[in-house]
Structures are given as structure tokens and as C-alpha cells.
Copies of this chain bind each other. A is one copy, B any other.
Amino acid sequence: MAKTNPGRFFEDYTLGQVIEHAVPRTVGAGERALYHALYPARHALYSSDEFARTSGLPQSPLDDLAAFHVVFGKTVPDVSLNAVANLGYAEGRWLKPVYAGDTLRSASEVIGLKQNSNGKTGVVYVRTRGMNQRDEVVMEYVRWVMVRKRDVDAPAPETVVPELSKVIDPADLVIPDGLNFTGYDFAQAGEAHRWGDYEVGETIDHVDGVTLEEAEHMMATRLWQNTAKVHFDATFRPDGQRLIYGGHIISLARALSFNGLANAQMIVGLNGGAHANPAFSGLTVKAWSEVLDKAETSAPGVGAIRLRLVATKGGEPFALKGEDGKYQPDVLLDLDYWALMPM
């Protein structure tokens, strides 16, 4: 028997199956510094332990997206090794901040299966949870991917497509214990704009751009122990290019959004997301945002803001889809998330 992992094929998934993913990972000061080296990250809560303490937290947490990447990375050998496409995200919630010294692991439950009409592939829906060393769930999200069948003649499973919320109800967002923005220092945070200054429908061009490098996306993707071959092996694709992990674009766009959204400090909800077009080394990534909604929270001085974050490889900002309803060719990412902001 071959000792290497061939990955799961569509017929290997069954409804209700729970997959415990290897390998647990302890995070710390190194991951924090590398996140700041790989992305132009400047949100003050993650940059300064002092700022975090003034906000009611014991110290700066690991960047929320870094926590997401660590949890996500573990699922790759079990969920997406034979995936043809990463189709979507929903119902993502950050439930506990991750601190230096925490050890993360993750597990996924199969919540939906649907064979495609071509009989060669199917869609697998999983709900993934990341846990810390105290077995507390630090985040959860639903992802669905298109996976190849090993044997096209394998029988199709009963079709079950889960009902997923298009948007997380703001009442279901989890605010970290103790979070308090009443003493928020806007000057140190970098911008004066508070929750009340943003209007639903408002768009923001984040102006700055970053040109993608092979060494940077590979280091980032390895750091999250995401092992999908296409990100590392230039001989894998016929065009000799390495496909960049979609999460690298998410983190880059989020960091770029500091310029205009410096006070959208913590990400607490992921409503949905699409990697609209593949990204490769040499492209220059820019970002723009749109305010989709706003909500109050029960935490002192803390408001919630729902944002669309779009990463592009050029072109005009604010162009998302064409008349045919398809993403513009320059759009790399369309992400819909909830963040916490001082009121």
C-alpha cells in the first residue's frame, strides 16, 4: 500500500462524516512578525499589545485572517487535494481570539453532497471548526469545493445541499470578551473615521498596490501548512506558473484596506467570498471596499460594519461584474465580511 496521501475523491465523502485534520500547530511571536512582513498589515489592535490592552484584550491576538489560514490549511490534505475549484464560503465566524502560545487544530463535518451532471465531479460542503488547546472553538466556517471522482462509475450519493445564510445576522456575531472601544485612540490607530462616519453604499478606493512575488506567496502558504501542489510546484501547471493561494490575496487586500478602513479592527464574520480569477506572481494587487451594512453591538463603543472587499489586478475601482453577471476579468477576490469598529 502506498504510504503517501492520495487525497479524498468525491465518493470518499459521506454525509455527516467528521474528519479530524492533522497537524496541530502552535502559533506565536514568529507568526505575528511574519504576517507583518508578508502583508502591509497595520491595524493597531494586531500591531500593538498596548493598543490591544486599552481595548480590553490581554495582548494583541494573532491576525484573524492568520487564524483562518491556519485552520484552513489543515483541511487541504483532506478536503481539497483533488479539488477542481474552491466554490464558496459562508457562515464564517470568529469565536475566540488566538494568542501567542495557543495550539490550533481543526475538524470538518460533511454537511452536503451533490454529484455534478457530468458524473465526473461533485460538490462537497463542509463545516470546518478550529479549536485551541482548551478545546474551545476559535472559528468556524462553511466551504464548498468541487472534487473529482476516482471512479466515474461510482454511484451518486443522495443530493443534500445545505441551507446557508447569505449573511450572518449581526446578533449572531461573537464579540471577544472584554472588548471595549470607549477609550479608543484614533490618532494612534491611524485614521479619525468612526463607525458613524461610514454610510451604507459608500465605496472606498484603497489606493495602494502591491506586486506579487513567488517567494512571498509560497512562504505565506507554507506558514499555514497549506500543501496544495499548485502553489509550490512550477512544473505542475502546463503554463509553468504557480497558482497563488486565494488566502494570500485575502490577506493582502485586507491589509491594503487599512488606508480608508484603519478602524475596521477585528474581523468577526465571513458572509461569503469568491476567488473570481486566479492570481500569479508579477501582478499588482489593488483593493476597494463597499459598505454593505452596519449594526450596533452590545459591547461598549463597538459597532459592526459589513464590508465588501474586492481585490483587483488593475482596471478601474468599483467595477465588479459585467452585464452578463460575471466578474470583470481584473477582479481577483470578492469578499463579504463583518468587522468591528469604534462608534
Question: Which chain A residues have a beta carbon within 8 Å of chain B's beta carbons?
Answer: 2-5, 20, 22-26, 28-34, 36-44, 47-51, 60, 77, 100-101, 103, 105, 133, 187-191, 193, 197, 204-211, 213-216, 218-220, 222-223, 225, 227, 229, 232-236, 242, 259-262, 282, 284, 314
Whether B219 lies near A232 (C-beta < 8 A) is no
Give the chain B neighbours of A189 by CB distance below 8 A.
Answer: 22-23
Q: How far is the CB of A9 from chain B (nearest CB, A)?
A: 16
In the assembled complex, the CB of A235 is this many whole angstroms from the nearest CB of chain B, namely 5
Closest chain-B Cβ to A19's Cβ sits at a distance in Å of: 10
Cα A223 to Cα B38 with chains together (Å): 8
Q: How many copies does the complex hold?
A: 3
Query: Can you give 15 A-B contacts (C-beta < 8 A)?
Result: A3-B260, A4-B205, A5-B259, A22-B262, A24-B51, A26-B48, A28-B32, A33-B223, A36-B225, A40-B225, A40-B232, A208-B233, A210-B218, A215-B215, A227-B259
Closest Cβ of chain B to A291, distance in Å, is 10
- Would A210 and B232 be within 8 Å (CB), given that A103-B50, A133-B50 are in contact? yes
Residue of B29, B40, B211, B219 touching A216 (CB-CB under 8 A): B219
A233 with B262, Cβ < 8 A, contacts A48-B103, A49-B101 known: no
Residues of B within 8 A of A229 (CB): 208-209
- Alpha-carbon distance between A232 and B255 when the two chains are bound, in angstroms: 13
- Interface contact A33-B33, CB-CB below 8 Å: yes
Known: A44-B23, A193-B3. A103 touches B49 (CB 8 A): yes
A215 to B34, CA, bound (A): 13
A316 to chain B, nearest CB (A): 14
Complex Cα distance A49/B210, Å? 35
Find out whether the CB atom of B223 lies under 8 angstroms from the CB atom of A20: no
Q: Are A191 and B47 in contact (CB under 8 A)?
A: no
CA separation between A25 and B271, bound complex, in Å? Answer: 30
- Top 6 A-B residue pairs of the complex, sorted by shortest distance between their CB atoms: A30-B33, A22-B190, A24-B48, A215-B215, A209-B233, A211-B234
* B residues less than 8 Å from A260 (CB atoms): 2-4
